[in-house]
Protein backbone atom coordinates (compact mmCIF):
# COMPACT_ATOMS: atom_id res chain seq x y z
CA UNK A 1 0.00 0.00 0.00
CA UNK A 2 1.41 3.41 -1.00
CA UNK A 3 2.03 6.08 1.65
CA UNK A 4 -0.69 8.26 0.06
CA UNK A 5 -3.33 5.51 0.12
CA UNK A 6 -2.36 4.58 3.68
CA UNK A 7 -2.72 8.23 4.75
CA UNK A 8 -6.20 8.49 3.21
CA UNK A 9 -7.25 5.20 4.85
CA UNK A 10 -6.11 6.39 8.27
CA UNK A 11 -7.83 9.73 7.67
CA UNK A 12 -11.08 7.96 6.72
CA UNK A 13 -10.95 5.75 9.81
CA UNK A 14 -10.35 8.80 11.98
CA UNK A 15 -13.35 10.58 10.49
CA UNK A 16 -15.52 7.48 10.95
CA UNK A 17 -14.46 7.19 14.59
CA UNK A 18 -15.13 10.88 15.19
CA UNK A 19 -18.58 10.45 13.64
CA UNK A 20 -19.38 7.48 15.88
CA UNK A 21 -18.27 9.42 18.97
CA UNK A 22 -20.32 12.44 17.96
CA UNK A 23 -23.41 10.32 17.34
CA UNK A 24 -22.93 8.60 20.69
CA UNK A 25 -22.71 11.93 22.48
CA UNK A 26 -25.77 13.26 20.66
CA UNK A 27 -27.73 10.13 21.61
CA UNK A 28 -26.87 10.56 25.30
CA UNK A 29 -27.75 14.26 25.18
CA UNK A 30 -31.19 13.38 23.87
CA UNK A 31 -31.93 10.93 26.69
CA UNK A 32 -32.48 11.12 30.44
CA UNK A 33 -30.10 9.72 33.04
CA UNK A 34 -32.16 7.94 35.72
CA UNK A 35 -30.71 6.47 38.94
CA UNK A 36 -32.37 3.12 39.75
CA UNK A 37 -30.17 1.82 42.58
CA UNK A 38 -27.53 3.16 44.98
CA UNK A 39 -24.97 1.08 46.84
CA UNK A 40 -21.53 1.49 48.40
CA UNK A 41 -19.17 2.26 45.47
CA UNK A 42 -21.79 1.16 42.90
CA UNK A 43 -24.78 2.57 41.04
CA UNK A 44 -27.46 1.18 38.74
CA UNK A 45 -28.64 3.73 36.20
CA UNK A 46 -30.73 3.93 33.07
CA UNK A 47 -29.86 6.02 30.02
CA UNK A 48 -32.70 6.01 27.53
CA UNK A 49 -33.61 2.32 27.18
CA UNK A 50 -30.18 1.05 28.30
CA UNK A 51 -29.47 -0.03 31.88
CA UNK A 52 -25.98 -0.07 33.41
CA UNK A 53 -24.31 -1.19 36.63
CA UNK A 54 -21.21 0.89 37.33
CA UNK A 55 -18.59 0.65 40.03
CA UNK A 56 -16.43 3.61 41.09
CA UNK A 57 -14.06 4.50 38.26
CA UNK A 58 -16.03 2.66 35.57
CA UNK A 59 -17.51 4.39 32.51
CA UNK A 60 -20.63 3.37 30.61
CA UNK A 61 -20.69 2.95 26.84
CA UNK A 62 -22.30 6.40 26.64
CA UNK A 63 -19.36 8.01 28.47
CA UNK A 64 -20.95 8.39 31.91
CA UNK A 65 -18.39 7.77 34.68
CA UNK A 66 -19.09 6.93 38.32
CA UNK A 67 -16.90 9.06 40.60
CA UNK A 68 -18.28 8.03 44.01
CA UNK A 69 -21.39 6.35 45.43
CA UNK A 70 -23.04 5.23 48.65
CA UNK A 71 -26.57 4.26 49.67
CA UNK A 72 -27.70 7.91 49.59
CA UNK A 73 -26.23 9.40 46.42
CA UNK A 74 -23.85 9.00 43.50
CA UNK A 75 -21.50 11.42 41.77
CA UNK A 76 -21.63 10.95 37.99
CA UNK A 77 -19.43 12.64 35.39
CA UNK A 78 -20.39 13.26 31.77
CA UNK A 79 -18.80 15.66 29.33
CA UNK A 80 -16.29 16.76 31.96
CA UNK A 81 -19.04 17.89 34.35
CA UNK A 82 -19.85 16.17 37.65
CA UNK A 83 -23.33 16.00 39.19
CA UNK A 84 -24.66 14.46 42.40
CA UNK A 85 -27.66 12.13 41.95
CA UNK A 86 -30.04 10.62 44.50
CA UNK A 87 -32.27 7.57 44.11
CA UNK A 88 -34.97 8.08 41.47
CA UNK A 89 -33.45 11.35 40.32
CA UNK A 90 -33.32 11.89 36.59
CA UNK A 91 -31.88 14.67 34.49
CA UNK A 92 -31.43 15.29 30.81
CA UNK A 93 -27.76 14.92 29.93
CA UNK A 94 -27.90 18.05 27.78
CA UNK A 95 -28.72 20.17 30.81
CA UNK A 96 -25.84 18.51 32.66
CA UNK A 97 -23.32 19.46 29.98
CA UNK A 98 -24.78 22.95 29.65
CA UNK A 99 -24.88 23.40 33.42
CA UNK A 100 -24.27 26.85 34.79
CA UNK A 101 -20.69 27.60 35.73
CA UNK A 102 -21.44 28.10 39.44
CA UNK A 103 -19.75 25.36 41.48
CA UNK A 104 -22.24 23.78 43.86
CA UNK A 105 -23.19 20.61 45.71
CA UNK A 106 -26.43 19.23 47.10
CA UNK A 107 -26.43 17.28 50.35
CA UNK A 108 -29.53 15.45 51.58
CA UNK A 109 -30.36 14.92 55.24
CA UNK A 110 -30.23 11.36 56.55
CA UNK A 111 -31.51 10.87 60.08
CA UNK A 112 -30.99 14.54 60.83
CA UNK A 113 -27.38 14.49 59.59
CA UNK A 114 -26.05 15.77 56.29
CA UNK A 115 -23.99 12.92 54.87
CA UNK A 116 -22.49 13.01 51.40
CA UNK A 117 -19.98 11.28 49.17
CA UNK A 118 -16.89 13.21 48.19
CA UNK A 119 -13.24 12.97 47.28
CA UNK A 120 -10.14 13.70 49.35
CA UNK A 121 -6.87 13.71 47.44
CA UNK A 122 -8.79 12.10 44.57
CA UNK A 123 -10.03 9.12 46.63
CA UNK A 124 -13.73 8.46 47.46
CA UNK A 125 -14.85 9.15 51.03
CA UNK A 126 -18.01 9.59 53.09
CA UNK A 127 -18.33 13.04 54.66
CA UNK A 128 -20.48 14.47 57.45
CA UNK A 129 -21.16 18.20 57.20
CA UNK A 130 -20.26 19.62 60.62
CA UNK A 131 -20.21 23.39 61.18
CA UNK A 132 -19.00 22.71 64.73
CA UNK A 133 -15.73 21.26 63.47
CA UNK A 134 -13.03 23.80 62.68
CA UNK A 135 -11.18 21.50 60.28
CA UNK A 136 -11.76 18.53 57.98
CA UNK A 137 -11.17 15.87 60.64
CA UNK A 138 -10.62 12.13 60.29
CA UNK A 139 -9.45 9.18 62.33
CA UNK A 140 -6.14 7.37 61.94
CA UNK A 141 -7.62 4.52 59.89
CA UNK A 142 -9.13 6.88 57.31
CA UNK A 143 -5.85 8.81 57.10
CA UNK A 144 -3.95 5.59 56.41
CA UNK A 145 -6.45 4.55 53.71
CA UNK A 146 -6.00 7.93 52.03
CA UNK A 147 -2.22 7.54 52.08
CA UNK A 148 -1.67 10.48 54.45
CA UNK A 149 1.63 10.16 56.33
CA UNK A 150 0.42 12.42 59.13
CA UNK A 151 3.11 11.41 61.63
CA UNK A 152 5.77 12.70 59.22
CA UNK A 153 4.03 15.67 57.57
CA UNK A 154 1.62 16.71 60.33
CA UNK A 155 2.07 19.08 63.24
CA UNK A 156 1.25 17.68 66.68
CA UNK A 157 -1.58 19.29 68.61
CA UNK A 158 -4.54 18.62 70.87
CA UNK A 159 -8.27 19.08 70.45
CA UNK A 160 -11.26 19.09 72.76
CA UNK A 161 -13.98 16.55 71.96
CA UNK A 162 -17.09 15.25 73.74
CA UNK A 163 -14.83 12.55 75.21
CA UNK A 164 -12.23 15.01 76.42
CA UNK A 165 -8.86 16.13 75.10
CA UNK A 166 -7.29 14.05 72.30
CA UNK A 167 -4.02 14.19 70.40
CA UNK A 168 -4.14 15.37 66.79
CA UNK A 169 -1.91 15.95 63.79
CA UNK A 170 -2.61 19.09 61.76
CA UNK A 171 -2.22 18.46 58.03
CA UNK A 172 -2.88 20.00 54.62
CA UNK A 173 -5.13 18.08 52.24
CA UNK A 174 -4.20 18.48 48.58
CA UNK A 175 -7.82 18.49 47.42
CA UNK A 176 -11.28 18.13 48.96
CA UNK A 177 -14.19 17.80 46.54
CA UNK A 178 -17.95 17.70 47.15
CA UNK A 179 -20.24 17.84 44.13
CA UNK A 180 -18.78 20.42 41.74
CA UNK A 181 -16.85 22.19 44.50
CA UNK A 182 -13.16 21.37 44.70
CA UNK A 183 -10.79 23.17 47.06
CA UNK A 184 -7.02 22.86 47.26
CA UNK A 185 -4.67 22.87 50.28
CA UNK A 186 -7.47 22.48 52.81
CA UNK A 187 -6.55 22.42 56.49
CA UNK A 188 -7.30 19.11 58.14
CA UNK A 189 -6.64 17.08 61.25
CA UNK A 190 -6.01 13.44 62.01
CA UNK A 191 -7.43 12.49 65.41
CA UNK A 192 -5.72 9.83 67.51
CA UNK A 193 -7.92 6.75 67.87
CA UNK A 194 -10.92 5.56 65.88
CA UNK A 195 -13.04 8.69 66.06
CA UNK A 196 -14.67 10.36 64.29
CA UNK A 197 -16.26 7.33 62.62
CA UNK A 198 -17.12 9.46 59.56
CA UNK A 199 -14.83 12.16 58.19
CA UNK A 200 -16.06 15.58 59.30
CA UNK A 201 -16.42 18.26 56.65
CA UNK A 202 -15.51 21.17 58.89
CA UNK A 203 -15.20 24.92 58.55
CA UNK A 204 -11.81 24.87 56.80
CA UNK A 205 -13.91 23.74 53.80
CA UNK A 206 -17.32 25.19 54.67
CA UNK A 207 -16.05 28.75 55.16
CA UNK A 208 -15.51 28.89 51.40
CA UNK A 209 -19.13 28.06 50.54
CA UNK A 210 -22.59 29.53 50.98
CA UNK A 211 -25.01 27.18 52.72
CA UNK A 212 -28.78 27.22 52.24
CA UNK A 213 -31.25 24.72 53.70
CA UNK A 214 -34.46 23.83 51.89
CA UNK A 215 -36.27 21.13 53.84
CA UNK A 216 -34.03 18.05 53.83
CA UNK A 217 -31.73 19.57 51.22
CA UNK A 218 -28.56 21.49 52.06
CA UNK A 219 -27.34 23.50 49.09
CA UNK A 220 -23.62 24.41 49.00
CA UNK A 221 -22.35 27.03 46.59
CA UNK A 222 -18.75 28.16 46.19
CA UNK A 223 -18.16 31.77 47.22
CA UNK A 224 -16.52 34.07 44.70
Same domain, 91 and 120: no
Cβ contacts of 91 within 8 Å, gap of 6 or more: 32, 33, 83, 85
Same domain, 195 and 114: yes
Measured distance CA(122)–CA(26) in Å, rounded = 29
Whether residues 113 and 36 share a domain: the answer is: no
Q: Are residues 95 and 112 in the same domain?
A: no
- Domain that residue 81 falls in: 3-99
What is the rounded CA–CA span in Å between residue 224 and residue 220? 13
Do 93 and 158 lie in one domain? The reply is no
Same domain, 136 and 31: no
Residue bearing the bigger pLDDT, 209 or 163: 209
Prediction pTM value: 0.56
Q: What is the pLDDT of residues 178-206, one digit of tens each?
A: 998 999 999 999 999 888 999 999 999 99
CA angle, residues 72, 77, 83, in degrees to nearest 5 = 50
| Predicted confidence (pLDDT) per residue in 147-186, tens digit | 999 999 889 988 777 677 888 999 999 999 999 899 999 9
At 79, the pLDDT band (50, 70, 90 cuts) reads low
State how far the Cα of 221 lies from the Cα of 142, in Å rounded to an integer.
26
List of E strands, 88-140: 90-92, 104-110, 113-120, 123-129, 136-139
How many domains is the chain partitioned into structurally? 2
Amino acid sequence: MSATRQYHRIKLLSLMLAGVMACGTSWVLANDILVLGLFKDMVILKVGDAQHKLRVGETSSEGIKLIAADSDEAILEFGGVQQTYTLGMHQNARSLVQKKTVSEARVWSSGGMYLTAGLINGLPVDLLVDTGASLVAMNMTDAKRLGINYRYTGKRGVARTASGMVNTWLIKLKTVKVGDIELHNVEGAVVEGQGPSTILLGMSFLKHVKMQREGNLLQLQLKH
